Amino acid sequence: MKFDPAIALQNSMNLSPYDGVNPSISDSATFAFSKADVMTDTFEGKTEGCFLYSRHWNPTNHVLANALAAMEGTEAGWVTSSGMAAITSSILQICNSGDHIVTAMTTYGGTYAFFQNYLPKFNIGVSFVNITDLEAVEKAIQSNTKLIYTETVTNPLLQISDIPALATIAKKHRLKLMVDNTFSPMIFTPCRLGADIVVYSLTKFINGKNDCVAGAICSTEEFINSLIDVNNGTAMLLGPVLDPIKAAGIHKNLFTLHIRLEKHSKNAMFLAGKFLENGLKVIYPGLENHPGHNLMKKLMNVQFGFGGMIALDFNTTDKVGELMVAMQEKGVGYLAVSLGYFKTLFCHSGSSTSSEVPEDIQKEMGMSKGLIRYSVGLDPDIELTWNKIETCLRDLDLI
């Protein structure tokens, strides 16, 4: 039977008699021990189910991490205070001074800045490649390479990473493959496709309400335990811990993710089709003209659709700002960064979420100055939304 992330998540909830249907929230920073030797054993990692300090583990965070691991089909998970904390902690756990990383050139601006501007401080080299060019990926591997990093659906150009093929390359060269699946939770299950580590910004689709910032790491028990080792675990020592009250809220929201994704995807497919019909340059992996369409169909969990992200390319910045303001004034959604919200969000990628990427690199990766990124919301009447967008486009002579 094929792995279904929604069913695996649903099956992760097991209540004991007299439990509340929502797990209790533990807001304790520290935890008491009945015996001194149990505390000693816990510090040495020899106990099960014991909590010593919330920077290491908290019962509420543990519940969320276990649910995410169930959804991903991994042995374990750990939750962080942001998506960038998940990315940076994982990378710094794998890589030491003198090591090297091969990464997708098209990636979130914050991730790009970490690779390009921050890792050189630790003498960690990074090669940026077109992640869809598997020959280029393999050619970039060096004797000191430790990691291949990519996004399942890249930000903002929506390229589709061939995770099984990248996993084959990684295993051939004894590397780790890390995948950011923020754009496509449940739609893809990267570790079951061959990835070693999957990371998330939980802020986005998984939480779905833009009321907190959080991240997650899912992988093997060995890797997660190494991250939180009290002596040399990167996450333990840098301390990017998630507030358990926020973790409890994310956990509840997680169980509606499959329903929300279906609606995000349905609405995005409708709008992408309308953009295409009107002669606009639209990038959406659900359209047959998308270069990664067939690959995505092969790798995805089809019941959740092709996702809620669309890129619309006007080539130049002329009227792009006016269009976004007009759409906000018409009630289409909000001119704002982030994604996965129940309202549609749109932004000019080059000057916002990808602003850390230099203009010449933006051009090299194929991102024009006129690219608008849409995170399509849960609009109950998507035709009405399209009518508002169409009015804005016509008023500005863009169609």
As a whole number of angstroms, the distance between CA 48 and CA 36 comes to 16
Query: Is residue 152's pLDDT more than 90?
Result: yes
The string over 382-395, giving b where at least 16 C-beta atoms fall within 10 Å of a residue's C-beta and e elsewhere, is beebbebbeebbee
Q: Output the pTM of the full model.
A: 0.95
Report residue 126's pLDDT band, with 50, 70 and 90 as the boundaries: very high
Query: Is residue 238's pLDDT more than 80?
Result: yes
Residues of the chain with CATH 3.40.640.10: 5-254
Three-state SS across the chain?
A: CCCCHHHHHHCCCCCCCCCCCCCCCCCCCECCCCCHHHHHHHHCCCCCCCCCECCCCCHHHHHHHHHHHHHHCCCEEEEECCHHHHHHHHHHHHCCCCCEEEEECCCCHHHHHHHHHHHHHHCCEEEEECCCCHHHHHHHCCCCEEEEEEECECCCCCCECCHHHHHHHHHHCCCEEEEECCCCECCECHHHHCCCEEEEECCCCCCCCCCCCCEEEEECHHHHHHHCCCCCCHHHHHCCECCHHHHHHHHHHHCCHHHHHHHHHHHHHHHHHHHHHCCCEEECCCCCCCCCHHHHHHHCCHHHCCCCEEEEECCCCCCHHHHHHHHHHHCCEEECCCCCCCCEEEEEHHHCCCCCCCHHHHHHHCCCCCEEEEECCCCCCHHHHHHHHHHHHHHCCCC
The pLDDT tens digits of the residues spanning 284-322 come to 999 999 999 999 999 999 999 999 999 999 988 889 999
Residue 177 · residue 138 · CB < 8 Å: no
pLDDT at position 47, please?
Answer: 84
pLDDT at position 52, please?
Answer: 87
Residue 388 · residue 333 · CB < 8 Å: no
Report residue 79's pLDDT band, with 50, 70 and 90 as the boundaries: very high
pLDDT at position 298, please?
Answer: 97
The pLDDT tens digits of the residues spanning 101-118 come to 999 999 999 999 999 999
The pLDDT tens digits of the residues spanning 9-67 come to 999 987 777 788 899 999 999 999 989 998 888 888 788 888 989 999 999 999 999 99
Instruction: Please count the other Cβ atoms lying within 10 Å of the Cβ belonging to residue 3.
Output: 11
pLDDT at position 315, please?
Answer: 85
Query: Is residue 350's pLDDT more than 80?
Result: no
pLDDT at position 360, please?
Answer: 83
Query: Is residue 206's pLDDT more than 90?
Result: yes
As a whole number of angstroms, the distance between CA 343 and CA 336 comes to 11
Burial (CB < 10 A; 0-12, 13-18, 19+), residue 359, is exposed
Query: Is residue 256's pLDDT more than 80?
Result: yes
Query: Is residue 138's pLDDT more than 80?
Result: yes
- Mean pLDDT within 227-232: 93
pLDDT at position 258, please?
Answer: 98
pLDDT at position 161, please?
Answer: 98
- Mean pLDDT within 253-264: 98
Residue 114 · residue 88 · CB < 8 Å: yes
The chain-wide mean pLDDT, for the chain, equals 95
pLDDT at position 309, please?
Answer: 98
Residues of the chain with CATH 3.90.1150.10: 260-395
Q: In this structure, what token pair is assigned to residue 59?
A: 């019962």
Query: pLDDT: is 351 or 154 the higher one?
Result: 154
The pLDDT tens digits of the residues spanning 210-228 come to 999 999 999 999 999 999 9
pLDDT at position 119, please?
Answer: 98
Which CATH number is 260-395's, of 3.40.50.300, 1.20.1050.10, 3.90.1150.10, 3.40.50.720? 3.90.1150.10
Which residue, among 200, 253, 209, has the nearest Cα to 81 in the 3D structure? 200
pLDDT at position 131, please?
Answer: 97
Q: What class has domain 5-254? A: alpha beta
As a whole number of angstroms, the distance between CA 385 and CA 327 comes to 10
